[in-house]
Amino acid sequence: MTRTSPLAGVKTDTLFVNLGPQHPSTHGVLRVGLTIDGEVITKAVPDIGYLHRGTSKLAEVRGYHHCVVLTDRWDYVSAMPNNLVFCLAAEKLMGLKIPPRAKALRVLMCELNRIASHLLFFGTYGIDLGAFTPFLYAFREREMVLDLFEMCCGARLTYNYIRLGGVMVDVGDNWIAKTKEFIEYFKPRLDEYDTLLTYNPIFMVRTREVGKIAAEVAVNWGLSGPNLRGSGVNYDVRKADPYCGYEQYDFEVPLGKSGSCWDRYFCRVSEMRQSVRLCEQVLATLPPGEFMAMGVAKVPKPAAGEAYAHVEGARGDLGIYLVSDGQASPYRMHVRAPSFINLAILQEMLVGNKVSDVIAILGSIDIVLGEVDR
Amino acid sequence: MTASGSGQAPPPKKVIPDPVFNEKNGRLLKDTRYWPTEVWANPWASPAYRRGAMLLIGIIGAIFATGWMIGELAPLGDTLYQLIASVASAGGLPQTATEATWIMIKALIILHVVLINGLWAVWWERKISAHIQSRVGPTYAGGFHGWAQTILDGIKLLLKEDITPAVADKWVHALAPAIVVVPVIIAFAPVSFGSQLAAADIDVGVLYIFAFAGISVIGVVMGGWASGNKYSLLGGLRATAQLVSYELPRGFSVVPVIMFSGSLDLSVIAHAQAGYWLGFIPKWFIFYPLVGQLAFIIFLIASVAETNRTPFDIPEAESELVSGFHTEYSGMKWSMFFLTEYGYVLLACFLLATFFLGGGAAPLPGLEIIPSWIWMLGKAMAMMFVFLWVRWTFPRFRADQLMDFNWKFLLPWSFANIAFAAAALLYLS
Amino acid sequence: MIAYFRTVFTAAWALLQGMAITLKYLFKPSITIHYPTEKLVPYEKFRGALLFDAETCISCNLCVKACPSACIQLENATNPQTKKKIAKVDWYSIDFGKCNFCRLCEEVCPTKPKAVWHSLDYEVVFYTRDEMVRCWKAGINYIGKYWNRKEKIFKDPEGQISIQEVHSRR
């Protein structure tokens, strides 16, 4: 006997819901057009461009020193790698040689910034899943990192610290002592985060089976950073293509297993531990000497040519392609923004999930709209 | 500089002045960056911390004082009743008039319990959540630890524009807050605030409370439906599923209590828990081995879910549904929803205290000299702290996981608990 | 069966541990700075609102060229007799609406002490758009004045901090 559904003949319809751009947890001005059937997503269309400022175009009319200021505004929660990647590309064009102390300081700042960025992710992911308290704990620690940046370079968010040929200013002993104080304070906090969120059963049940990306799919969509490593693909620019002397330091690349939201989250939390390790190593082996290369032109005019540099930003493989035609400003600048490329997979991942999972997945991809739209 | 040795005094070093700030409002902090490493090093050295500790002691004292005051004022009720009766008989009115007036007065008192609880609980929640998160919470309104914050918020909500969305179902939209808030006030009637202290001594008090507490969900669904907002609609629908489901384990977890005490009357249940085992373990229901703890945990979890609070706040999940069913409400209509939430929290706290923590019974023999209403209020407030504590610690469930948790975990265990209780009763008899 | 109970108890234990952490912080002092009543002095290198000293400036135009967002404008003073440009500034303006606070202008300034430098003022708040564009001339203090378009006069910015000199920085 075949059973007929009690709902047979009932006319049902899907519902179109605008998630964003003013939604509280789209992390900026992302809009996702969701077609939902009950609570299940049948179609998701991310809509970006609300924060477009055209920095690639702006760079074409600015000198190389000025472009560093523009890069601060892409990924504004971790601006140091942005500065760094532009400087690396421009230095390649100009053939500058960077003093070892500047290199070590660059590594140190990028790792501190990675901690700050991942702390923001940790906090906002907690909020996305309804836990408000870890957010403020994370920000409490993040404030300390930002204080360190303020003490070192004067700004808390848009640093303009890493410059062509080196860094803006040297760090003092006072700063180094403060950084060590922070690191000592921060290590036990990471264990608390694990207790509060990582191994919280509610958190795990929310994230472990949700938003799984197979390794193959992740590679095909061009994901990078913790999103890729969460799927178990061991690709980290710091290891694969070392820059700024990352090869001298001892650190691990945390990998996930199943590529679920929890794995991506766990990769980031583990990366914070590795960043702490890296900071300690850099502080222990900080070489003396100049912090700025000699002979950096006030108005650099590199010879015609092209250069590509990429770094492991907090969100993934951040690359810059610079073309010079011998003028004072770049002929063309192209940014490989990891957030933008990571966001593309969203439309495929969301289908079939619940509305609550949209937030969990979106949060776990950890986009910054400043970098998506540039 | 002075190496020239010409005998001339070196030029006086330019004195660097301290940065001058706009000190129009406030003092300047020059030394500390407020790093936790500095602030937590020696908390008792900071006067603010000592003041905070004093305030906490003061609040606990005030809770007990309130409990004492309730008890002291209660006998005045009899006098008042006599007065009304004499006035009524002098005016030649029938006995029902006296009763009606008396019920009105009692209803008014219950109404104010809910209202004042709203003021207090919101402030308390803000303070507790703030300090859990290393913040301070409201500090300015009223001058002293922001004590007037919720009063002023209430005034603000009263003065706010009442917005009804253009696409809203106007009548249903306006009616929903009322339907939400009325049952909670009604449900308070049989709650005993101490021995012999209940607005209505109903024989089936437990059933009465659960019956009326279930009505609020209709208002929530109406609010979600009538707002004309898709998020509200989702929130309202989620609320239906959740509240209806969690009624079941909540009711069933109380069944062992009723079996042991043999009554549905709240004051009888409270009285059944008086006395001590071995002279010092109170005979509270939570201390009944296995059955008591299981029932307590299930009732606590289900109560948190019934009050729509984290980790079960999916109907209003602010990161998913913006604000769920009350997204489109503003001003006083919105605060009705809020009042309801805190009313139910208080109700759940009193029920927890009555069912599991012995009501007005003292925790140790010899402490009976402290009146029951003080114990009752103290226990209820302790439970309220647990509510806040849970809320500000955990992330939230997903809608289907919430259902799984209810139907596959809480409900079976509450049934099992009834079986355990029955077995224990059989064994004891 | 044992696995089931183990799961339940591990979950419950993890939840209780989380609650223990929040309880621990409940009794720790808060780290909040009560901002309007308590203010921090930023670190020495802090890049706050730009200040300008018209007496020191030699009108070399380097800061104008260094600015990535073109928010600085200036005009040379001229000798009234010879009508030739001299190394003094006639007027100097910064548009804080465009300013990036990037420190490039301060770094490039050749005078000693610096003619344009970042103060420690982080309370850069404007009531009107007019106030964002600050103008300096000889005799105007470091904060500058703004051109009030309504009243058609130069005015002192309202509620702005009187002065913050950072001598060690200049």
Q: Using the beta-carbon criterion (under 8 Å), do C29 and B46 form an inter-chain contact? A: yes
Ranges of residues in chain A with a pLDDT under 70 are: 1-2
Tens of pLDDT, residue by residue over C23-69, are: 888 888 888 887 777 777 777 788 888 888 777 888 888 888 888 88
Tens of pLDDT, residue by residue over C121-165, are: 777 778 888 888 888 887 777 777 788 888 887 877 776 654 454
Q: Any CB–CB contact under 8 A between B131 and chain C? A: yes
Q: Using the beta-carbon criterion (under 8 Å), do B393 and C168 form an inter-chain contact? A: no
Residue C79 has a pLDDT of 81
Q: Report the largest interatomic distance among the alpha carbons of chain A, rounded to a whole angstrom.
A: 88
Q: Any CB–CB contact under 8 A between B44 and chain C? A: no
Which among A300, A319, A310 has a CA at the least distance from the CA of A374? Answer: A319
Which among A329, A311, A328, A343 has a CA at the least distance from the CA of A320? Answer: A311
Residue B15 has a pLDDT of 47
Residue C29: its chain B contacts at CB < 8 A?
39-40, 43, 46, 48-49, 52
Q: Any CB–CB contact under 8 A between C64 and chain A? A: no
For residue B392, the distance in angstroms to the closest alpha carbon of chain C comes to 8
What single letter denotes the amino acid at residue A184?
Answer: E
Contact A313, A82 (CB under 8 A): yes
Q: What is the pLDDT along chain B (429 residues), one digit of tens a residue?
A: 444 444 556 555 544 445 555 555 555 555 556 788 878 888 888 787 888 888 888 888 888 888 788 777 777 777 887 887 788 778 777 778 777 887 888 888 888 888 888 888 888 888 888 888 888 888 888 777 788 888 888 888 888 888 888 888 888 888 888 888 888 888 888 887 766 677 777 788 888 888 888 888 888 888 888 888 888 888 888 888 888 888 888 888 888 888 888 888 888 888 788 777 777 778 888 888 888 888 888 999 888 888 888 788 877 777 777 777 888 888 888 888 888 888 888 888 888 888 888 777 777 777 777 777 788 888 888 888 898 888 888 888 888 888 888 888 888 888 888 898 888 888 887
Helix (H, G, I), strand (E, B) or coil at C97: coil
Residue B395: its chain A contacts at CB < 8 A?
126, 129-131, 197, 200, 202-203, 206
DSSP readout, B163-208?
Answer: ---TTS-HHHHHHHHHHHHHHHHHHTTT-BSSTT-BS---TTHHHH
In the complex, which subunits touch C with 3 or more CB pairs below 8 angstroms?
A, B
Question: Across the interface, which of B35, B318, B398 has its CB nearest the CB of A354?
Answer: B398
Question: Across the interface, which of B14, B128, B392 has its CB nearest the CB of C167?
Answer: B14
Residue B361 has a pLDDT of 76
Extended beta strands in A93-180, E state:
162-163, 166-167
Q: How many CB atoms neighbour CB A107 within 10 A?
A: 24
Burial B186-203 (b: 16+ CB within 10 A, else e): bbbbbbbbbbebbbeebe
For residue B140, the distance in angstroms to the closest alpha carbon of chain C comes to 10
Q: Using the beta-carbon criterion (under 8 Å), do C33 and B49 form an inter-chain contact? A: no
For residue C139, the distance in angstroms to the closest alpha carbon of chain B comes to 20
What token pair was written down for C144?
């500058």
Q: What is the ipTM of this complex?
A: 0.84
Length of chain C: 170
Tens of pLDDT, residue by residue over A97-136, are: 888 888 899 999 999 999 999 999 998 888 888 888 888 9
Q: Any CB–CB contact under 8 A between A35 and chain C? A: no
Residue B394: its chain C contacts at CB < 8 A?
15, 18
Beta partners for residue C78, in sequence order: C85
Q: Any CB–CB contact under 8 A between B401 and chain C? A: no
Dihedral class, residue B366 (left if φ above 0, else alpha if ψ from -120 to 50, else beta): left
Q: Using the beta-carbon criterion (under 8 Å), do C34 and B28 form an inter-chain contact? A: no
Which among A313, A312, A285 has a CA at the least distance from the CA of A176? Answer: A285
Beta partners for residue B133, in sequence order: none
Which among A268, A365, A312 has a CA at the least distance from the CA of A30? Answer: A365
Q: Any CB–CB contact under 8 A between A299 and chain B? A: no
Q: Using the beta-carbon criterion (under 8 Å), do C38 and B21 form an inter-chain contact? A: no
Nearest Cα residue in chain A from B135: A136
For residue C40, the distance in angstroms to the closest alpha carbon of chain A comes to 11
Q: Any CB–CB contact under 8 A between B136 and chain C? A: yes
Nearest Cα residue in chain C from A191: C21
Q: Using the beta-carbon criterion (under 8 Å), do C104 and A160 form an inter-chain contact? A: yes
Residue B49: its chain C contacts at CB < 8 A?
29
Q: Any CB–CB contact under 8 A between B130 and chain C? A: yes
Q: Using the beta-carbon criterion (under 8 Å), do A131 and B134 form an inter-chain contact? A: no
Q: Using the beta-carbon criterion (under 8 Å), do C39 and B19 form an inter-chain contact? A: no
Residue A225 has a pLDDT of 87
Dihedral class, residue B211 (left if φ above 0, else alpha if ψ from -120 to 50, else beta): alpha
Average pLDDT, chain C: 80
Q: Any CB–CB contact under 8 A between A158 and chain C? A: yes
Which among B315, B400, B412, B300 has a CA at the least distance from the CA of B352? Answer: B300
Residue B103 has a pLDDT of 82
Nearest Cα residue in chain A from B313: A130
Best residue in C26, C37, C141 for a mutation probing chain B (most B CBs within 10 Å): C26
User: Domains of chain A, with CATH numbers?
Assistant: 53-351 (1.10.645.10)
Residue C42: its chain A contacts at CB < 8 A?
150
Q: How far apart are the first and last CA of chain C?
A: 74
Residue C160 has a pLDDT of 60
